[in-house]
Amino acid sequence: MVIYWQGISTSFCGQCFYLDFLSLSPYPSLFRSLCLSLPIPLCFGLSLSPYPSLFRSLSLSLSLSVSVSLSPYPSLSLCLSLPIPLCFGLSLSLSLSLSLFLSLSLSLSPYPSHSLSFSVSLSVSLSLSLSLSLSFCLCLSLPIPLSLSLSVSLCLSLPIPLSRSLFLSLSLCLSFSLSLSLSLSLSFCLCLSLSPSLSLSLSLSLSLSLSLSLSLSLSLCLSLSPSVSVSVSVSLSLPLFLSVSVSVSLSLSPSLSLPLSLSHTHHPLEQHTEPVFSLPPPSSTEQQTVVLLARSPSASKTYFPIPVDCLEDETRIRSADDGKLFREEFNSLPSGYTQGTCQEANKEDNREKNRYPNILPYDHSRVVLTQLEGNLCSDYINASYIHGYTDNNKFIAAQGPKQDTVADFWRMIWEQKTATIVMLTNLKERKEDKCYQYWPDQGCWTYGNVRVAVEDCTVLVDYTIRRFCIQYQASDGTKPSRLVTQLHFTSWPDFGVPFSPIGMLKFLKKVKTVNSSFAGPIVVHCSAGVGRTGTFIVIDGVIDMMHQEQKIDVFGFVSKIRDQRSQLVQTDIQYSFIYQALLEYYLYGDTELDVSSLEGHLHKLHNTHTPFDRVGLEEEFKKLTNMRIMKENMRMGNLPANMKKNRVLQIIPYDFNRVIMSMRRGQEFTDYINASFIDGYRQKDYFIATQGPLSHTVEDYWRMAWEWKCHSVVMLTELQEREQDKCFQYWPTEDSVTYGDYTVEMKGSTVCDSFSVRDLVLTYGPDKQTRLVRHFHFHGWPEIGIPAEGKGMIDIIASVQRQQQQSGNHPIIVHCSAGAGRTGTFIALSNILERVKAEGLLDVFQTVKSLRMQRPHMVQTVEQYDFCYRVVQDFVDIFSDYANFK
């Protein structure tokens, strides 16, 4: 549209529109397509022209032009494909065109001389066309394979003598391969339409394939005498493979060898698959299952035995990156029920006997009980024979007994002639039942046909020893009684593994000592009978291997025993704990002594230890000083708000065993005091090792004593030594003194040979609650060095123990100035002497090592370490008749 008005013009033009529909194919062998095209050009024009120069005339011209062209081109084609290489096609097309033209003209004048004219023009056009075509196509593919291959290989080997005992052998191989293939394809098409034209089409296709392969390998072998050889092999293959392998064989003696193999192959199409893990069918009844951790994809690897002198380095390497290599090694172990069947465990009558439906014994290694009359399934128990390092069926790995399987458990103990039971779980953990109590607390009880009576029970800090007398009551009379010892390890935490392997190694040695060589298999059980049970068995076996072969093979040993019971050693954390225990045993060995051998051992320690020209005692203590201080576990003590509460900045309690007090309302960090819980010989957290109170921490000191119900305090320093303040006086000389909410009153004091005893009354709060606290102040420690004799220390330890028996065995507060040197010495001696009285054994080194793992710098000097030995010797001399103090 065009409008003229005083020199202004506006225009508009329409557009053409197209609409297409294409491709409908409902069947794979019948193809149908429809194409519709609608080009629609549209134009419209209007002209209005007033002429201002013709004042008295008016001319109006109107022109309307409408052109519509409708040209649909519907095309329908139908193609039918036959199983033979022949195609039949039918095509139909339709075309329609419409055109319309309209013109209008008008002229008007006010004068009579002018005329009025009007014209209309209309034009319509219609076009229709139809075409039909028929086509036949024949496609023939004629593959003509033509193959040509050429291969050339060249190898060169060159021995090079470098010296009389050193030889170098170089081998180089080059391989070349050429492959050629040819393929021919032929296609013929004929098209016939209603028009007289005829079309013929012929196509020819040729395919050519060329393959080239080049391979290069280099081998280098270095030999230094018959005992050392190094071989390096490099292989390059184009275009897909690159492989490098290194093999080292080192033989130092007939009994020690170190093979090492490293290989890597790169393949652009390499894929990793998830290991398949299948379980036997679970029981139909709802039961708790053991969580089997997801295994990350891991390529199959070979892990060679480790020489003992490389164990420390190998453990450190595997522990790096949060134990990544330990996880890889653990994930390469055989898993799942791949070594046998579990048909007996899956029988309907036996499913309820399994604590976990996915932890079952193999048929070939299960313990078979004697069948009871009239009960065909009475021979089943969830237990498996496990080999030791040299002894077959040394162990029986079993699940923790259920209430309805306790009788079967004791029947197994009797029939297998077992003398030792190893229990590695508590009855409840995380509020879940892990094992039914299968023994009486006191007296006797009958389980099935077995009568069990408790003989005695000894509770230690890491384990409890129970002795039972059992008798089998058969139909033909009661059998002679037997003694069975249960060693119950109580220090395994609900999560993870023990913090240190020291307790487990002591426990293992006790098991070996207790078990008779003539007894039947040792029964080991936790809850499921796989995780902790397997860990214990592997530590025992690999330590024996260490003695026999001077090497360890954890991977091989676990793989072997998993042939007898699936999933033994259940987690990578348990797997790495095995290495920690083996390393602890290798580095420090067995340092336990019998009291009768103490004098000879002391003589050996005080002699020069060649070739280092150091006294053996110094060498032993140096191992303790080399222990790493875990500064990352001192976060609370190093907070700026708590730093002023520490007397010595190098002695900060570890976060995992620091004494935590209640937080004062609105006062942050008021739960901190520089104090650590320390285990005793029989009881965890039996001591509180702390620094001498500062003037601004006295209230915290008494608050700790009140909240943890402490009745005994041991002080091992004077208030001042060498003109330096060592401890603030936190008790009154007479009457009473108040520190915040706490009032301390002096009730009386007693002076002994080397220490004094103060009876204090501690009063708290508005309710005036009171508590008696006995304060033992040792005066026999000189300002420099150590006490001249051990009797004073023996006496104060005995007095504190008597007080504890009367007051209820709540934690004993022990402090010197920093809470490490003299404090550690007192606690070490308390534990050592307690064990000497109970067992006639001592282990000064491991006792001090355990203390240093609980608080840094415990037993600070080699003189204090030597003092521990001398006090024990004085104790033995005083009570020369062992029966008098046992």
Residues 334 and 517: their CA atoms lie apart, in Å, by 32
What interhelical angle do 572-588 and 502-514 show, nearest 10? 80
Where do we find the tokens 């608080």?
Answer: 855
DSSP state for residue 151 in the 8-state scheme = E
Q: With CA atoms as reference, report the closest residue to 857 among 522, 617, 564, 624.
A: 624
3-state DSSP helix/strand/coil % of the chain, to nearest 5: 25, 35, 45
Quickly list H helices, 640-697. 640-643
Amino acid identity of residue 577, one-letter, is: F
What interhelical angle do 844-854 and 616-625 show, nearest 10? 20
- Note whether 383 and 366 are within 8 A (CB): yes
- Dihedrals φ, ψ of 688, to 5°? -120, 110
Beta pairing partners, 215: 175, 237
Q: With CA atoms as reference, report the closest residue to 823 among 798, 858, 863, 774.
A: 858
Is the bond preceding residue 112 a cis peptide, omega within 30 degrees?
Answer: no
Beta pairing partners, 233: 219, 245
What kind and span of H or E run contains 723? none
Quickly list H helices, 206-346. 311-331
What kind and span of H or E run contains 554? helix 554-561
- Note whether 552 and 305 are within 8 A (CB): yes
Q: Hey, what are 157's tokens?
A: 């080997």
**Strand spans (E) along 287-434:** 306-307, 383-386, 395-398, 420-423, 428-429, 432-433
- Note whether 858 and 848 are within 8 A (CB): yes
Q: Hey, what are 833's tokens?
A: 């002497």
Is the bond preceding residue 611 a cis peptide, omega within 30 degrees?
Answer: yes
- Note whether 235 and 215 are within 8 A (CB): yes
Kindly give, in sequence order, each residue whose CB lies less than 8 Å from that of residue 659, ignoring residues fewer than 6 positions away. 653, 673, 675, 676, 677, 688, 690, 704, 708
**Strand spans (E) along 740-884:** 742-751, 755-764, 769-778, 812-815, 841-842
Residues 533 and 424: their CA atoms lie apart, in Å, by 7
Q: Hey, what are 529's tokens?
A: 């009978």
- Note whether 736 and 745 are within 8 A (CB): yes
Quickly list H helices, 175-310. none
- Note whether 664 and 706 are within 8 A (CB): no
100: left (phi > 0), else alpha (psi -120 to 50), else beta?
A: beta
| Beta carbons within 10 angstroms of residue 760's beta carbon | 22
Beta pairing partners, 24: 32
Kindly give, in sequence order, each residue whose CB lies less than 8 Å from that of residue 458, ignoring residues fewer than 6 positions away. 464, 465, 466, 838
Report, as residue numbers or ranges, the catalytic residues.
526, 816
Residues 566 and 572: their CA atoms lie apart, in Å, by 15
**Strand spans (E) along 162-255:** 166-193, 198-224, 228-238, 241-253
Where do we find the tokens 């000894």?
Answer: 458
- Dihedrals φ, ψ of 668, to 5°? -75, 150
Kindly give, in sequence order, each residue whose CB lies less than 8 Å from that of residue 859, ignoring residues fewer than 6 positions away. 624, 821, 824, 825, 828, 848, 851, 852, 865, 868
